[in-house]
Amino acid sequence: MEIPNQLLEKLSWVAIKTDNSVVITDNKGHIEWVNEGFTKLTEYSLEEVKGKKPGELLQGPDTDPKHKKLIHQKLAKKEPIEQEILNYSKSGTAYWIHLSIVPVHDEKRKVTNFVSIQSDISDKKNRRLELERLLAEKEELAKQLMMSELKFKSAFKQEKNINDTLKRTINKLESTQGQLVKQEKLATIGTLTASIAHEMNNPVNFVYNGISSLDDLLNDLEGYFAGLGKVLDASKDPSTKEQAQQIGDHYEVGEILEDLRSISSEVADGAKRIVEIAKGLRVFSRTDEEQILSTNINDLLESVIILLKGNFKYTIELTKDFDTNLPSIDCYPGQLNQVFMNLISNAIQAIPKERTDGHITIKTREFGPDVIIEIHDNGSGIPSSIQNKIFKPFFTTKEVGVGTGLGMGISKDIIEKHGGSMRFDSKEGKGTIFYIQIPKNIDTRSQSA
């Protein structure tokens, strides 16, 4: 809007009657006239402000510099201005105004004056600022609430993770404690078994010596009776010969000699079996299970088979397909014995006692830097529903008191401690094959795992 000069006089008369603040300046922005509304709002009289610029009087420390700059730019271009701005009264009271400035032109379109109308919008502005402040506070509270919620969720998640970690730690501790208890029991049983196997040597030696002496005595008796028979055959007295024959028949001397020879042979076989069992016990119950020793896997398997032979010899056929050229490997023999005892026992127990076609095959072979052990059985197989649980610590499907007490999880841990691996294939009603692969030279890194 632009105001011609001829209207300026009329506008001044209207400005006198209005409550709004009205200021008329020259084209340089110096005040020429103000109305009473200006004086009421700013507390400045016309005499105090005449010749001065409004901005120099009314703008203060909190007036936005961007507003001042915009006004100056518009005035320099002689353009109309509409702007809200913070001003200060003579006493220093801050107030908000809606500032409207329009240029006044003469008949040659040259700007001669500016008319400024200032409406006091402090109440409206303060309410708006208060609303904006409340909205900002609300927004800040919402952000804080959101942050609190995120922190709560994070803390809850962290607490859940801690609880889960704690549960896993407790389970691991319980598992470790169980393993330690079982290992302690196995170590105690191993020491006791080794002691028993050692103590068996003396009575077995007595039996062997006695059998040897008995064989010598039987040979002497047979020689004696053979010689006596020759003497009687050479005798010319028929009654003596007949009497000797009657005595021999009465006491069944021939049968006694045959029975003694048979008993001697059976005792010798039994003593040999005891020696094999004692040897198996000594191998199986080695107390050096925490020492790496050069050991032949075939010997370890043989010792376990000897100890378990009484559990299957009448019901299950066991085939040994051992690589006779299998080299010795570095291992913990006592621990591997426990694994083989567990696997072969499981294979025996997997075949129902009423079966007459039970069969177990144990194979060994060399495979590059490793040794492979396979244990096959044609038992009932492992149900598919529990196959993924087989290697969990102390998982078992057996009744209390049945089995070695060494879980498949621990067996797998022992094999992995050797740097090896263990897996199985099983079909219900068909049987199970366990595959064990162990390096010939134990990986010392796996010992600390």
Task: List, for residues 367-415, the tens digit of each pLDDT value.
Answer: 999 999 999 999 999 998 888 888 876 566 665 445 444 568 888 888 9
**CA torsion, ordered 64, 70, 73, 78, to nearest 10 deg:** -120
**Which of 80, 103, 120 is the last residue before a domain boundary?**
120
Domain boundary residue among 79, 103, 120?
120
Widest CA span in the chain: 191
CATH code of the domain covering residue 445 = 3.30.565.10
Q: What is the mean pLDDT of residues 164-176?
A: 73
The confidence score (pLDDT) of residue 264 equals: 75
Q: Establish if 269 belongs to a structural domain.
A: no
Q: How many domains does the chain have?
A: 2
**Residue 79 lies in domain:** 3-120
Greatest mean pLDDT among 129-138, 204-213, 217-226, 414-423: 414-423
Residue 255 belongs to some domain of the structure: no
pTM of model > 0.75: no
Within-domain flag for 425: yes
Nearest to 436 by CA among 384, 380, 376: 376
User: The domain spanning residue 93 has which CATH number?
Assistant: 3.30.450.20
Of 77, 99, 120, the residue that ends a domain is 120
- What would the mean pLDDT of 269-292 be, rounded to a whole number? 62
Let me know if residue 226 belongs to a domain. Answer: no
pLDDT of residue 367: 93
Mean pLDDT computed over 176-200: 57
Q: CA 4, 10, 12, 18 torsion: positive or negative? A: negative
The reply to whether 7 falls in a domain is: yes
Strands 21-26 and 3-4 come out as unpaired
Residue whose C-alpha is closest to residue 227's, from 244, 210, 242, 239: 244
Report whether 306 contacts 280 (CB < 8 A): yes
Say if residue 75's pLDDT is above 50. yes
Across the range 60-86, mean pLDDT stands at 90
Residue 186: inside a domain:
no
276 found inside a domain: no
The answer to whether residue 195 sits within a structural domain is no
Residue 307, both tokens: 């100890």
